[in-house]
Amino acid sequence: MAKTKTKAEQFEFKTEVKQLLDLVIHSLYSHKDIFLRELISNASDAIDRLRIESLTNADLLENKSDYKIKLIRDEKTQTLTLSDNGIGMSHDELSENLGTIAKSGTKAFLEQLQKDKQDVNLIGQFGVGFYSAFMVADSVSVITRKAGSNDAWKWTSTGEGQFTIEPADKVTRGSDIILHLKSDAQDYLKEWTLRDIVKKYSDFVEHPICMDVEKTEYPEGDDKDKKQTTKIVEETLNSQKAIWARPKNEIKDEEYKEFYKHISHDYTDPLQWIHYSAEGIIEFKALLYFPSKAPMDLYYPDSIKGVHLYVKRIFIMDDCKKLIPEYLRFVKGVVDSNDLPLNVSRELLQQDSQLDKIKKNLTNKILSTLKTTLEKDLPEYLKFYKEFGKVLKEGVHVDHENKDKIVELLLYPTSKTVGDELRTFQQVVDNMKEDQKEIYYLSAENIDVAKTSPLLELFRKKDIEVIFMTDPIDEWVINSIFEFKDKKLKAIDKGDIDLDDEATKETLKEKKKEHEGLLTFIQKQLDKEVKEVRFSSRLTDSASCLVADEHGMNKHMEQMFKAMGQAMPAQKKILELNPDHDLIGVLQARFSADPASSELKDYIELVYDQAILAEGSTLKDPIGFIKRVSELMVKAGR
Ligand code: ADP
């Protein structure tokens, strides 16, 4: 069919593509080989998509279902072509898919990179995908025809800001990616180079990756007169063996790692993997990986492709949200089940109870593996926890069935840990005093604020451990935990802390009586700010501190609501005073001498300001504070 020549349309790459191309070309130098893996992955995905769509529209196959990816070398034109007979792309898909970056994680990463210097190697975690072609090619053409359509298109670019699209001729469906190799990338025309890379990165790809190679045939027997002949034959380069279906003892660590990189597009080795077969109510094989680094898109759950679903070794989908709970979204891997129908659709999967059983099994396996690592190899677990602990914590709030198991996996700094050390709830319980009924914790903005809090004074004196909760999500975790191994969790900045013996309680009562007038006076002066002024034995060194009442909101919670843009009505706190502090004596003396003295008023303000500063808050009237302190200094210095 003769096509009327139409002028090529010219397009600009989106800014983020330009940034990505710049990175790919200038920074990923040492990883050049991966372009082939990326393009083969794309070709394999395109075939998978065609196969799935053809389940409901067999015409798309155009009577040919011999799925294949072919590598074509041409020394004369110095081109390497990757040809697939997958789904192909329409005109609009071409300009959309190969002109923008759809993945939010990659976009977020690029934005971050502009702001501060991130490790550019991290880009590998999102897969540079198609654009990696420009590492080895100074110009790339894509000739593609969408299955079921008659129109073919040619996309061309040198990777410098623009690309063009023009009509093309293509008889077979699918895409040809034509790479005009750079002068320093001519190695990719060599048979053995390509063989090695395919074997290394793409051996397990389900579809055949073929290439024409020269085969030499030697004469049989001793017939020396016959000459050896060479023939060009098409050879399949990959074994196509599903790694997860092979026996564990036959798989090398290297193979596990390469497979991980293939499905995750991560450059770095995984931290750990789990390879197992489930038998019984539901049968499936699973190969799951924990990455060693948290990807940028960890907090964009929608864009995450985690565990790929296969049915009888055939790829079904890579974004099956029902396979794994959201709080385990960092897990990558494959699940292959014989118990699901091959033509399973997204809608069907929504109601499939088999899938729920698989999910349950996977969740248990992942949590129990983490527990074993925590118990047997703490340093390894800490590497995991540093990257994914926050996400795991989400599970406490949402997965009631497994809550207890998840809580056992959490780690926290405490008032007794040193440096980076972290402890489990179990360790804290094991270290408890015999008569200790509650697990104490303190929420704070960060560990330094927690460590220096006056609220800890009594606990230090009594040698009681307090857990520090410094993650915003910890507030939700706490609200879902309530207790651990029959010990209630108790915030030390809320309500009463009952740690005193009878004698101490008695003394406190007496002191209260003795200073009743003063306490009422302070209460009156601070009436607008605080709910109550009282003595407590919570403090040993400091004069004052602020606490919330039992069901009130502590400082940390208030800050969080504020950060989320939810203005909360100011909550009045309780001001607790240390009856044994010298300052109380000073206040009492001034009060007894002249309750109307302006100095007494200033002192009370200062005691209150100290409590505000100690909880890490800012003063409402810092200028007044400075003035009062300066006056005090002047008087003391006279
Ligand atoms: P990713 O594959 O991670 O989505 P890429 O940049 O590699 O990112 O590719 C962008 C998109 O271009 C793909 O999602 C796909 O829709 C399309 N694409 C790339 N290669 C092919 C191909 N060989 N056949 C059909 N579509 C393709």
146 alpha carbon – ligand 1 mean position (Å): 13
Atom 23, ligand 1: residue with shortest CA distance:
43
Residue 122 CA to residue 584 CA, distance in Å, equals 57
pLDDT category of residue 638 using cuts at 50, 70 and 90:
confident
Averaged pLDDT for residues 40-54: 90
Is the pLDDT confidence value at 277 over 50? yes
Residue 498 CA, ligand 1 centroid: distance in Å? 63
- Residue (of 397, 474, 462) closest to 433 by Cα position: 462
The band of 509, judged by pLDDT with boundaries at 50, 70 and 90, is: very high
Mean pLDDT of the chain: 88
pLDDT at res. 472: 84
Pocket of ligand 1 (CB under 6 A): 38, 42-43, 46, 84, 86-89, 97-98, 127, 129-131, 175
Q: Report how far ligand 1's centroid is from the alpha carbon of 12 (Å).
A: 18
Specify whether the CB–CB gap between 491 and 443 falls below 8 A: yes
- One-character DSSP codes across 569-638: PPPPEEEEE-TTSHHHHHHHHHHHH-TT-HHHHHHHHHHHHHHHHHTTPPPS-HHHHHHHHHHHHHHHH-
Mean pLDDT of 224-235: 84
Closest residue to atom 12 of ligand 1, CA basis: 97
Least confident of 133-142, 346-355, 398-407: 346-355
Q: Give the residue from 286, 236, 318 showing the smallest Cα distance to 45.
A: 318
Identify the residue with better confidence: 569 or 266.
266
As a whole number, mean pLDDT of residues 615-625 equals 87
Query: What is the percentage of the chain residues whose pLDDT exceeds 90?
Result: 55
Residue range 112-171, pLDDT digits in tens = 777 766 566 565 555 678 988 999 999 999 999 999 999 999 999 999 989 999 999 999
The atom of ligand 1 lying closest to the CA of 101 is 6
Q: Average pLDDT for residues 201-212, to the nearest whole number?
A: 90
Percentage, residues of the chain above pLDDT 70: 90
- Residue of minimum CA distance from atom 20 in ligand 1: 42
Residue 451: pLDDT band (50, 70, 90) is: very high
- Return the H-helix or E-strand segment holding 168: strand 162-168
526-579 pLDDT, tens digit per residue, is 999 999 999 988 888 899 999 988 777 766 667 667 666 666 667 789 999 999
What spacing in Å lies between the alpha carbon of 142 and ligand 1's midpoint? 11
Angstrom distance (rounded) from CA 585 to CA 100: 71
Of residues 558 and 495, the one with the higher pLDDT is 495
pLDDT at 495 over 90: no
Q: Which of 467, 469, 408 is nearest to 438 (CA)?
A: 467
Distance 128 CA to ligand 1 centre (A): 11
- Lowest-pLDDT choice from 443-452, 522-531, 612-621: 612-621
Residue 343: predicted pLDDT: 61
Give the model's pLDDT for residue 104.
64
Pocket test for ligand 1, best of 34, 42, 68 (most atoms within 8 A of CB): 42
55-63: average pLDDT? 84
- All structural domains of the chain, each given as residue ranges with its CATH number in brackets, are 9-216 (3.30.565.10), 243-376 (3.30.230.80), 411-491 (3.40.50.11260), 502-637 (1.20.120.790)
Q: Which helix (H) or strand (E) holds 381?
A: helix 378-398
Q: Is the separation of the CB atoms in 174 and 212 below 8 Å?
A: no
42 CA → ligand 1 middle, Å: 5
Whole-number pLDDT of residue 339: 80
Residue 2 in this model has a pLDDT that exceeds 50: no
pLDDT at 63 over 80: no
Could you give the C-alpha distances from 233 to 76, 369, 415, in angstroms and in order? 19, 47, 71
- CA-nearest residue for atom 13, ligand 1, is 97
Question: What is the pLDDT, as a whole number, of residue 304?
Answer: 65
Asked if residue 295 has pLDDT above 70, the reply is yes
Question: For the segment 577-598, what is each residue's pLDDT rounded down to a tens digit?
Answer: 999 999 999 999 999 999 999 8
CB atoms within 10 A of CB 74: 12
pLDDT at residue 190 greater than cutoff 90: yes
Check residue 14 and report its DSSP letter: P
pLDDT greater than 60 at residue 4: no
- In a mutational test of the pocket of ligand 1, which residue from 35, 48, 130, 202 has the highest number of ligand atoms less than 8 Å from its CB? 130
> Of 108-117, 184-193, 332-341, 397-406, which range is least confident?
108-117
Beta strands in 61-136 (DSSP E): 69-74, 79-84
168: phi then psi, degrees, rounded to nearest 5:
-145, 175
Which pLDDT score, from 0 to 100, does residue 103 have? 67
**Cβ proximity of 561 and 554 under 8 Å:** no
Residue of minimum CA distance from atom 15 in ligand 1:
97
Asked if pLDDT for residue 445 goes beyond 90, the answer is no
Q: Ligand 1 centroid to 207 CA: how many Å?
A: 17
Flag whether pLDDT at 87 surpasses 60.
Answer: yes
Model pLDDT, residue 241 = 86
Among protein residues, the one with the nearest Cα to ligand 1's atom 4 is: 129
Q: Which of 13, 37, 39, 45 to mutate to test the pocket of ligand 1 (most atoms within 8 A of CB)?
A: 45
